[in-house]
Homo-oligomer: A and B are copies of this chain.
């Protein structure tokens, strides 16, 4: 093999400036694996997310576990984010995609370590919007102490997607001795909520429907791993289960725990914290805040002897200052959720059949 007889100009050093349109809008070529994909990675994703693992640009991240111990286990979670609108008061699809996945790790008792991020972009998406979303993801990941170590980008034809969908997958490490699961609630356990409910869903809905209140409703989107760690530390083996009540809200999250644990639950309506503004918006729209998504709240099921310590630990954290004890696990009515209303009656909180608020996350 010999190329010496045909000298070739060193094309590799010539850079071809991208046409203006391809700097402004996403085109199909950005997902085709060639020069445009490489440019998108080099100019947009890598500067925002960069770390030694990602910078190798291999098709997989290879990672040394920082804390391998015989009894520890790996946590893995994935979520696609299809929220509309993609920018909303209190966050955007990028920060939400990081928080949502960090939180799913944290609810399993895991220390979040790494994220993978896969983007499905619609042809025509403004590159400025993508850049803003990616910056927001990078900031959220940095704040949560996780690295985005691998990713993927696909582009679909205009009209075959909706601006941007992001799938984040998280890997975390569950220390020895931590065993949280939705099948561990026992009669007598206390039900704690870390703050006001319904903020995220009503922020999205208000924005989507163009509702103007005296002040905007802000999403509560936040990374809950340090809050989760605080309650795990405080309650130790008395903590049964953590859950972030996202899609379907508090009622759906508790219903799932009740069903999987084969227990009933009784909630006290008057103890469930709801922001005044969210309450008004819900009334106006005929929506029950118990079924509205949260993205920065957790539910903790705790044995009675550790409930006070767990509540104190939540309240001592900036993200848990409005934490409340909202109810109790019961042996009656297994798989069901009962609500004692403010006027003293008791009613069944069934899960929703159809969507109340689609595309909220």
Contacts and interface: CB of A to CB of B under 8 A. Distances in A.
Interface in A220-271: 243-244, 246-248, 252, 256, 259-260, 266, 268
Given A160-B162, A338-B3, A359-B156, A74 B59 contact: no
Contacts of A161: 160-162
A261 to B, nearest CB: 12
A358 interface: yes
Contact of A348 (B11, B16, B76, B268): B11
Copies of this protein chain in the complex: 2
Contact of A120 (B12, B120, B353): B120
Nearest to A68: B68
Nearest to A16: B353
Interface in A56-100: 56-65, 68, 70, 73-82
Nearest to A27: B354
A31 B351 CA distance: 14
A118 interface: yes
Interface stretch (A164-172, A275-283, A303-311): A164-172
Contacts of A350: 11
A182 B82 contact: no
Given A1-B266, A156-B162, A59 B108 contact: yes
Contacts of A327: 1
Interface stretch (A43-51, A129-137, A203-211, A329-337): A329-337
A170 B332 CA distance: 42
A322 interface: no
A358 B27 CA distance: 10
A291 B32 CA distance: 11
B355 A31 contact: yes
Nearest to A64: B73
Contacts of A324: none
A77 B1 contact: no
A248 B30 CA distance: 12
A339 to B, nearest CB: 10
B154 A348 contact: no
Contact of A77 (B61, B109, B334): B61
Contact of A29 (B38, B293, B354): B354
A318 interface: no
B171 A74 contact: yes
A152 B338 contact: no
A33 interface: yes
Given A33-B247, A119-B80, A336 B8 contact: yes
A63 B172 CA distance: 10
Contacts of A170: 60
A62 B174 contact: yes
B82 A355 contact: no
Contacts of A82: 31, 120, 154, 156
Interface of A: 1, 3-6, 8, 10-12, 16, 27-29, 31-38, 56-65, 68, 70, 73-82, 104-105, 107-110, 114, 116-120, 149-152, 154-157, 159-162, 165, 167, 169-172, 174, 181-183, 243-244, 246-248, 252, 256, 259-260, 266, 268, 291, 293, 327-328, 330, 332-336, 338, 340, 345-346, 348, 350-359
